Amino acid sequence: MHPSRIHHRRPPDATAPRTAHAGAAWLALLGTLIGGPASLAAQGGVAGVVTDSVAGGAPLAGATVQLVAQARLDQVHSATADSAGRFVIRGVPAGRYLLGFLHPRLDELVLGVPMRVVQVPDSGVEHVDLAVASAATIRTATCRPAAGDSTGLLLGRVVNADDGLPVAEGAITMSWPELLLAGRGLRQERRTARATVDADGRFALCGIPTDLPVVVTATSGAASSGDVELHVPPLGMLTRDLHVARPDTAAPPTPARRPRRGAAAPAPLRRGTARLAGRVLGTDGRPVASAQVLVHGTGLADTTDADGTFALAGLPAGSHTLEARAIGFTPVRVPVDLAGDRPRAMDVVFDAPAARLDAVTIFGRTTRRTDLTEFTERSRGGFGNFVTAADIARRIAYDLPDVLRTVPGVRVLPSEGVDTHVLVRGCVPAVFLNGMEIYEGARMMTTIITPADIAGIEVYNSVAEVPVEYRRGSCGSIVLWSKGRLP
């Protein structure tokens, strides 16, 4: 065939299929874009407020709120609650989710993460509020109290005083006085309760009385706290961490008089390197001068100046009870946490002015002696503990309970109001002033007589030691003698 007649068939346009493919891709992309609003419309959100029911519904600022898809637990959406406890999570695909929050408050209350099932809508925002369970709910779940049970719950952790880290093992001991009807009348006993801490240092104590203060002590190996006075609200719950530390030093107490042979020595006073400073304020917020501030179990105290300021050094680390007293005010006792490597500053505020007390009625007979002959003779007999005016002058004593604290066998416990409870070997003693018995004297020690007016004190730890004329019931006795003319 002639070359000129050879027809060359034009090959197919190679660009045509690519153009069609590109067009289809653009159409698909366009379809995606057109369908985009439908996909976005299928996304919603969750908003609400996180509060603390235990703290009266206060906002839980800083809570981390998490939304987890039930179908895929690896899909997590989160937000942080603001200062008002508000949170909002947007752009979440519609579906069923688990909603919860994390906050250190849950660790304090020994609670797990509270979860709720929510349905995120196709559009808009679902409003869901979150809250820490109420004190009543936590108490019921933890203690399972019987109907009519009015006791409370104490929750917290035991932590090291220096670094704040929880201890791995330890125990909590709580004690409180209880009046019992026995025989011909009432007698007082000291009740105790004990609990151990878990691996995270957490503890829970149920069945705590709520009508009077309780004293709590934490231990972990050789480390311990001081005696911490706490008040648990009725039908409620109290959260309180307890700080423990090894005692740096232990100073022997300054006894009012050398104990007799065989008598138990008073507990040593705890000392350390911690420091505490602050102010004492009245009910009107003004500084209170000449107030006495002391830390229980240390023997250390300070008196406020004209500006109401005080400063204490040489204190042991850990949790302790700080007490402030001033004429005209009800004494205040508050827990305080101390660390050996950093000073602590705090203000102490008196809650209320002192209530006026009714006149003390004294029942009894007059003594046959008009001097301290009886006191002197018995002090040589080897029974009982005796404190003279010279013994009292050698130490600083704010009131009569301060004098009695260092007498072997005597324990001074805080109470409601302006006074204290004095026990002898755990029993309520009879109290006599100048030979006359004082009704309820063991519960009225601060109102009986001032240390400056005391000429002598006799303390008998058991009924077997008490002279016949001062023997009442089955407990010991405290016999007080005043200076000047005796009845």
Q: What does the DSSP assignment read for 116-175?
A: EEEEE-SSSEEE--EEEPPHHHHHHHHH-PPTT---EEEEEEEEETTT-PBPSS-EEEEE
Q: What is the pLDDT of residue 279?
A: 96
Q: Which residues contact 120 (CB under 8 A, 6 or more apart)?
A: 44, 45, 46, 67, 92, 93, 94, 95, 96, 97, 126
Q: In angstroms, what CA-CA distances link 155 with 147, 232, 336?
A: 21, 11, 17
List of E strands, 61-104: 64-69, 76-80, 86-93, 95-102
Structure tokens given for 52: 């603390």
Residue-level pLDDT at 147: 77
Could you report how far apart the first and last alpha carbons of the chain are, in Å? 160
391 domain-assigned = yes
Domain boundary among 312, 328, 349: 349
* Statement to judge: residues 333 and 378 lie in one domain: no
* Residue 344: inside a domain: yes
Q: Do residues 123 and 187 touch, judged by C-beta distance below 8 A?
A: no
pLDDT of residue 265: 53
Q: Are residues 121 and 49 in the same domain?
A: yes
Q: Which residues of the chain have pLDDT under 70?
A: 1-41, 110, 179-188, 249-267, 354-371, 382, 396, 414-420, 484-487
State if pTM tops 0.75.
Answer: no
Distances (CA, A) of 471 to 22, 23, 384: 112, 113, 13
> Are 278 and 240 part of one and the same domain?
no
152 lies in the same domain as 239: yes
Answer yes or no: is 123 within a domain. Answer: yes
Local structure of 403: helix, strand or coil: helix
Picking from 186, 218, 244, the residue at the C-terminal end of a domain is 244
67 contacts 104 by C-beta, under 8 angstroms: no
d(CA 354, CA 280): 16
Burial class, 319, CB count within 10 angstroms (exposed 0-12 / middle 13-18 / buried 19+): buried
Task: Output DSSP code: residue 255.
Answer: -
- The answer to whether residue 162 is domain-embedded is yes
SS in 3 state form for 306-340?
CCCEEEEEEECCEEEEEEEECCCECCEEEEEEEEC
Residues 6+ apart with CB under 8 A from 89: 45, 46, 47, 65, 67, 77, 78, 79
- Judgement on whether residues 276 and 330 belong to the same structural domain of the protein: yes
pLDDT tens digits, 239-292: 899 999 987 765 555 444 444 444 445 567 788 899 999 999 998 899 999 998
Same domain? 407 vs 372: yes
What CATH number is given to the structural domain containing 173?
Answer: 2.60.40.1120
How many Å is the Cα radius of gyration of the chain? 36
Read off the DSSP letter of residue 443: G
196 phi, psi to nearest 5 deg: -100, 160
Question: Do 223 and 300 fall into the same domain?
Answer: no
* Degrees, nearest 5: CA angle 231-236-239: 60
Cα–Cα dist 163/241, whole Å? 13
pLDDT of residue 256: 44
Is the separation of the CB atoms in 265 and 333 below 8 Å? no
Number of domains in the chain: 4
Q: Are residues 391 and 295 in the same domain?
A: no
Domain harbouring 477, CATH code: 2.170.130.10
Cβ contact 97:117 at 8 Å: yes
What range defines the domain where residue 91 resides?
Answer: 41-102+113-132
Name residues whose C-beta falls within 8 Å of residue 255's C-beta, 6 or more positions apart in sequence: 266, 406, 407, 408
Smallest CA-to-CA distance from 81 within 103, 63, 105 is with 63
249 within a domain of the structure (yes/no): no
Identify which of 436, 415, 430 has the alpha carbon closest to the alpha carbon of residue 360.
436
Token look-up 């072997």 returns: 408
Residue 247 near residue 274, CB atoms below 8 Å: no
- The CA–CA distances, whole Å, from 342 to 118, 163, 276, 277, 316 equal 47, 11, 9, 12, 12
- 378 and 322: one domain? no
Q: Is the domain of 342 the same as that of 366? A: no
The pair phi, psi for residue 63, each rounded to 5°, is -65, 135
Express each pLDDT in 31-53 by its tens digit: 333 334 434 447 899 999 999 98
Integer angstrom CA distances of residue 126 from 82, 198, 262, 460: 18, 39, 75, 72
Answer whether residue 36 is part of any domain: no
In a domain, 217, yes or no: yes
Tokens of residue 259, six digits: 């104990």
Please give the full DSSP string across 390-402, using - where no structure is assigned.
Answer: HHHHTS--SSHHH
Task: Report if residue 167 sits inside a domain.
Answer: yes
Q: Same domain for 169 and 192?
A: yes
- 431 and 374 in a single domain? The answer is yes
| 471: helix, strand or coil | coil
